[in-house]
Amino acid sequence: MRLEDYNPMKNEMYQVLDPTGKVVLEKDIPELDDEQLKYLYKTMLFTRTIDEKALSYQRQGRMLTYAPNLGQEAAQVGSAYSLEKEDWLAPAFRELGAWLVRGVPLKNIYLYWYGNEWGSHMPEGVKVLPVSIPIASQMQHATGIGMANNIKNEKNVVLTYVGDGGTSHGDFHEALNFASVFKSPVVFVVQNNQYAISTSRKIQTMSDNIALKATAYAMPGILVDGNDIFAMYNATKAAVDRARNGDGPTLIEAYTYRLGAHTTSDDPTKYRDDAEVEEWKKKDPILRFGEYLKGKKLIDDQWIDETKKELEKEVKDTFESIEDKSDTVIEDIFKYHYEEMPAQLKDQLDEYKSFLEGGK
Amino acid sequence: MANTLSIIQAINQALMNEMKNDDTVVVYGEDVGIEGGVFRASVDLQKTFGKERAFDTPLAESAIVGTAVGMAINGLKPVVEMQFSGFSYPAFNQIISHVARMRNRSRGQYNLPMVIRAPYGGGIRALEHHSESTEALYAQIPGLKVVIPSTPYDAKGLLIAAIRDPDPVLFWEPKRIYRAFKQEIPEEAYEIPLGKAKVIQEGDDITIVAWGAMVPDVQKAVKIVEEKGISAEVIDLRTIAPMDRESFIESVKKTGRILVVHEAPKTLGVGAEIISIVNEKAFLYLEAPPTRLTGFDTTFPLPRGEKHYIPSPERIAKTILDVVSY
């Protein structure tokens, strides 16, 4: 696909599969083999399963605050799948599908939400930054990583995410501007899930869409059906290729919907109608892709059931491997602030340890 | 060869040395490239090392610091400039939320070898927001180091140490004395360790702790009281965080008295911390109440009022006498 064929100023949205899984743009079916297609579906299903189980654990009082991804699986999995091994990912906090695609182990993900910093320590070779909670701040890190690539003459690219609420933030605009000025090889994906906690996307901006904001920064912007995994993969791949080719950044708006709550502390019935949610459930990205794959005879209901059971077991085993075994080691609270622990900190650690040991 | 430099020239030479020694050092900020900085700290860097490694950015402090976080993660050592410390607030979120935390958040996976330089302090007849002393704002944040030099020799050695440090350093420069005096210093690179204060004058009757532009004023005050037979020990703290506690604890054990002089507001300033430490560690040695002489708890006045704000050598001298005669 060509990014320039979709003009965000005309509010055109890029779509390959319609909500029923029917192909609306035959020429844009990506060249992925059967195994790749099944991997993508399975990863979306894995994302959903991890969410469902986390919400259930949270309700049982076994998990802490959790931010579910329900409904946004295609936006995350499809975009992240366009990266190559050496590329970077600078996430916000609702990018579970992207983390999985980029090789972040579920154990890390659950450890993070379980309240232990070791969840953010990635395995060797996984170039994924830790969760960034301050809204839009991670976009600047992505831009800086890309600027460093240019200086070092390295060809890898950076994928970063932000929500629709984040586009109101100064850091969003500063990051786009710096990336454009310095031709930083970054792909900015806005997961427009229509709500920033309770605040509707309509209150964030008077623009018809978010993708058109790219125009002012002299970069391509494209509005994409975020629940269509092929559209997300193709658009991001085009942007990634463009960045790798030295042509600079791209802004992608993934038009999607948060089917669940902002976090487990949020009650979305306070600010949106059931009818609206029901409408979006019909556009569920997993249903859509599933229908397409069934039509291709790649999967069937039995395969889905078996895969789901297998994934549920993996999630359960992983959660149980960390549950009640992940309290923070006291020294860890102190020893990672500086390469060398300052004397003041050492005194505080010693005093506390001595208290715990019942010393004088 | 004689290499007699002012503080600002010493800073420039430190940047030159380190950019030459280490290809991963990059310098950027507002007006840092073609102009060489509004105070000329980065003069000739672009000419010498090219636009890739010394460059001007759009006018946005948050992105200057935020992109430096990304660069440091990706293997470079960015040295970025906040044009004035009073303009660092748009970057506050990046500094506090990410610069200070990335190492701990990632359990040591991503350390950030980066330096944020900024001129700070008053006394240059500047417009509003150009005169603040903001060290305490940053010194309380776990994960940051805050360094303030007071001489050309220290400025160069501390800045080189800051650039080589594996952790982020806020390097606050006393602009009032950028060009106040020159010193002969080595032309080649050298380091002064961070976290080490310096006793710049030994004495018996009182310990005076200061940093940055207050150091020469304290030295003037000490000359005044010497005529009255008072022997003062003067400590230049040099690193605000993490602080060299032993330097003033040991000194107070000898002198029994301490005065902290700083330009920043009094309440909850760095002086309060120093005096708390003295109370904890040298209480029984004290012969007079530990004392602070500082800026007021007011907004820094515009130029017609600034002479009242910064403690003068005369006022410092009077306070020394008050403490010694308690």
Q: What is the pLDDT of residue A360?
A: 55
Q: What is the pLDDT of residue A131?
A: 97
Of residues A191, A162, A157, A165, the one with CA closest to residue A175: A162
All residue ranges of chain A with pLDDT < 50 are none
Sheet holding A88-90, edge to edge: A13-14, A221-225, A250-255, A186-192, A158-163, A88-90
**What CATH number has the domain spanning B4-184?**
3.40.50.970
Contacts of B301 (CB under 8 A, 6+ apart): B308, B309
> B98 and A141: CB-CB below 8 Å?
yes
Angle formed by the axes of helices A73-80 and A229-244, nearest 10°: 30
Q: Give the nearest chain A residue to B166 (CA atoms).
A: A339
Whole-angstrom Cα distance, residue A319 to residue A311?
12
> B74 and A152: CB-CB below 8 Å?
yes
> B103 and A332: CB-CB below 8 Å?
no
Interface of B with A in 17-36 (CB under 8 A): 26
Task: Let me know how long chain A is.
Answer: 360
> Percent helix, strand and coil across chain B, each rounded to 5?
40, 20, 40
Of residues B269, B247, B261, B321, the one with CA closest to residue B294: B261
Of residues B83, B90, B88, B89, the one with CA closest to residue B40: B83
Q: What is the pLDDT of residue B1?
A: 57
Residues A256 and A350 both lie in one domain: no
All residue ranges of chain B with pLDDT < 50 are none
> B106 and A134: CB-CB below 8 Å?
no
Residues A75 and A167 both lie in one domain: yes
Is the CA virtual torsion B320, B294, B65, B82 positive or negative?
A: negative
Residues A265 and A195 both lie in one domain: yes
Whole-angstrom Cα distance, residue B317 to residue B259?
11
> A338 and B143: CB-CB below 8 Å?
yes
Residues A262 and A158 both lie in one domain: yes
H helices of chain A, in order, are: 34-59, 73-80, 96-101, 106-113, 137-152, 170-181, 201-204, 229-244, 274-281, 285-295, 301-322, 330-335, 343-356
Whole-angstrom Cα distance, residue B72 to residue B84?
22
Q: Measured between alpha carbons, how far is residue A52 from residues A194, A343, B91 in Å?
A: 21, 46, 38
> A144 and B106: CB-CB below 8 Å?
no
Is the CA virtual torsion A16, A18, A23, A25 positive or negative?
A: negative
- Number of domains chain A is built from: 2
B50 near A CB under 8 A: no
Residues A118 and A218 both lie in one domain: yes
A137 near B CB under 8 A: yes
> B67 and A143: CB-CB below 8 Å?
yes
Confirm whether A258 is a catalytic residue: yes
**What CATH number has the domain spanning B198-324?**
3.40.50.920
Percent of chain B scoring above 90 in pLDDT: 99
Residues in A touching B104 (Cβ below 8 Å): 117, 336-337
Does B4-184 match B198-324 in CATH topology? Answer: yes
Among residues A114, A258, A288, A292, the one annotated as catalytic is A258
Whole-angstrom Cα distance, residue B11 to residue B153?
9
CB contacts < 8 Å between A and B, how many?
A: 137
Residues A307 and A333 both lie in one domain: no
Task: Summarize pLDDT for A11-46 with one digit per residue, the tens.
Answer: 999 999 999 999 999 999 999 999 999 999 999 999
Among residues A271, A336, A337, A352, the one annotated as catalytic is A271
> B110 and A129: CB-CB below 8 Å?
yes
CB A63 within 8 A of CB A54: yes
Interface of A with B in 335-354 (CB under 8 A): 336-339, 342-345
Task: Summarize pLDDT for A281-319 with one digit per residue, the tens.
Answer: 999 999 999 999 999 999 999 999 999 999 999 999 999
Residues A282 and A343 both lie in one domain: no
Confirm whether A242 is a catalytic residue: no
A153 near B CB under 8 A: no
Residues in A touching B75 (Cβ below 8 Å): 148, 152
Nearest to B70 among A118, A141, A171 (CB): A141
H helices of chain B, in order, are: 7-21, 45-49, 61-73, 92-94, 102-105, 135-139, 152-164, 214-226, 245-255, 270-282, 306-309, 313-324
Domain ranges of chain B: 4-184, 198-324
Structural domain that includes position A48: 3-327
Residues A285 and A168 both lie in one domain: yes
Whole-angstrom Cα distance, residue B8 to residue B188?
16
B97 near A CB under 8 A: yes
Residue where the block lists tokens 């300052």? A342
Residues A300 and A359 both lie in one domain: no
Q: Give the CATH number of the domain where residue A22 resides.
A: 3.40.50.970
Q: What is the pLDDT of residue B2?
A: 72
Of residues B315, B320, B322, B225, the one with CA closest to residue B263: B315
Residues A65 and A173 both lie in one domain: yes
